[in-house]
Structures are given as C-alpha cells and as structure tokens.
Amino acid sequence: MGSTLAMRIVESGLADVVLVDIVKGIAKGKALDISDSLSASSLTGKISGTSEYGDISGSGLAVITAGLARRPGMSREELSLKNADIVGSVASKIGDFAPESIIMVVTNPLDAMTYLAYKKSGFAPNRVFGMAGLLDESRFKAFIAEKLSVSPREVEAVILGTHGDKMVILPRFITVKKKPLDEILSAEEIKTLMDKTRSAGAGIVALLGSGSAYYGPSQAAFLMAKAVIKDEGKIFRASAFLDGEYGYKNIHMGVPVKLGRKGVTDIVDMDLNAEEKAQLDLSAKVIRETIERLKI
C-alpha cells in the first residue's frame, strides 16, 4: 500500500517522496522501480528509498503504512499486538527526525494505531490522524452504485466510528442523486449492503490469500494527503483525537474533520439520534478495549 501511494503522489506531482523500510534494499529497490515508471512517462517527480530515518528530515507529511497485513480469518484486533511495536517505533522516529510533520496512519487496527502514534510521536493531537472513513465510504458507495446502476459520484454516504466490524453506517444520511436511499431500497437491501461493506476488507484478504487491499486504501490516502499538502480544508471522515467531541475524551475515532496543512483543523459535529449514538458508543468501546489491551 505504501509503495502504491508513493507512486500516486509522485505521478501526480503532488510532492517528492522518501520511502523508508527497515529491511535494507526493499525501499530503495521500489523507489528505483517507480522512478523508472516516471521516466517512461516523462514525469519529473522525485522518489528515493532508504533504511535510514534521518533521510526523512524536513518532511511535511509522514504516512505510516508499516505493519503486518491481515491473514485470512484474522481480525483487525488480532493484529494489534503484532503491529503496536512496529507503529510505536516508527512514530517515535518520525518525532525525532521530522518533528514538524503531520502524521497520517494507515496501519490496522487503525484507530488504536493512530492513538499509539499520537502518544509515541509526542505531537499535538491535531497533527496525527488515521485514514479509514473515506475508504469505508468509498466501498459502500461502490456497492450502492453497482446495485442501482449509477455512478458512485451520485452517491453520498457517511460512516463513523471504528474502521472495523463495528463501523457506524448512517442510512438516514445516505442519498442517491440527492434522494434518500431508504426511498429507493428496502431496509433488508440496505442491511445487505451495509454488511457487505463491513466485511469488504476481510473479503479481499480471503481472496488474495496473502496480504490485504492496497489500491483502494492508497487512493483514499492520496486524497487525504493532497488535502494536507495543498491546505484544501476539505471534509473527510478520519480517525481523529476527540477531547469531548461527540461525548468522548482521549480517544481516536472516525468522525468528519477538515484537513489542511496543520492536520485536523476542525472536527465537524453531526446531530445523531439515540440509536446512532448507541452504535457509536459501541464502536468507541471496541477501540478503548484495544487501547487498554495494548497498555498505551
């Protein structure tokens, strides 16, 4: 996922990229390969690969994709103990060598890993966020568009909470051509699409047999990176630090945020009903349990 994101960034001319991998040779080899692809298209973006964190000095944005991918049958939560050591180490190094950067976390389990990166980096909470909600919404929109034979751009969807089985999909905020989805599909049809979205990542893992999704996640991460680098102030669903918003404190969880050069510049409040808030409470509970298990 990291190398695919890097390729998207340099191909678009958004920024120069430094790939880092602790295994010597891997990042450099991938960077050379991507550089060759740029040359073939006469593009001028610059990318390098290294195993030395000192080479990220001066970076404005650091994206953490390091970690083990899920295996078939493995939940995101099972990944937590294995990936915590990796993400914690990476975040500490970013704090040491790129202290002015913004951190975007992609490693799963996303919300707990984002909270861990915030703690280990020592950064202000607005400077550490996780990419997840945009990916989940993209998957849901794709399933709806396929079901109704429309373009995904004609579908609007909102998903909050954790990036996992307890994600909170909000049917009353979903529209197709500005028409409420529940006026187009039955409750049972909507539930089927929601269930399909919740298991989409696991489904890809099962089909691949080794590794997990990277085209979808890398595109979502690219759009969020662009919002930061270009200071766009666009609204995305991201795993952000909450300090009383939505009734939660000291936790990272998926909510609507504005992204710009300073990271999360604003958290957007949504008026949830009792049922939706109860679902979000359950989502927060799952995240807190993972954080406690990791003893962050």
**Span 231-268, pLDDT tens digits:** 999 999 999 999 999 999 999 999 999 999 999 999 99
Cα–Cα distance measured from residue 278 to residue 196, given in angstroms and rounded to the nearest whole number = 21
Decide if 141 is inside a domain: no
Pick from 32, 25, 87, 15: nearest CA to 50: 25
Decide if 72 is inside a domain: yes
* Rg (alpha carbons) of the chain, rounded to whole number: 19
Q: Which CATH number does the domain housing residue 93 bear? A: 3.40.50.720
Decide if 267 is inside a domain: no
Which residues are designated catalytic?
A: 163
Decide if 53 is inside a domain: yes
Q: How many domains does the chain have?
A: 1
30, pLDDT greater than 80? yes
Decide if 288 is inside a domain: no
Each residue's pLDDT tens digit, 269-292: 999 999 999 999 999 999 999 999
Decide if 76 is inside a domain: yes
pTM to 2 decimal places: 0.94
- Phi, then psi, of 42 in degrees rounded to 5: 60, 35
Range of the domain at 14: 2-130
Decide if 216 is inside a domain: no
Decide if 285 is inside a domain: no
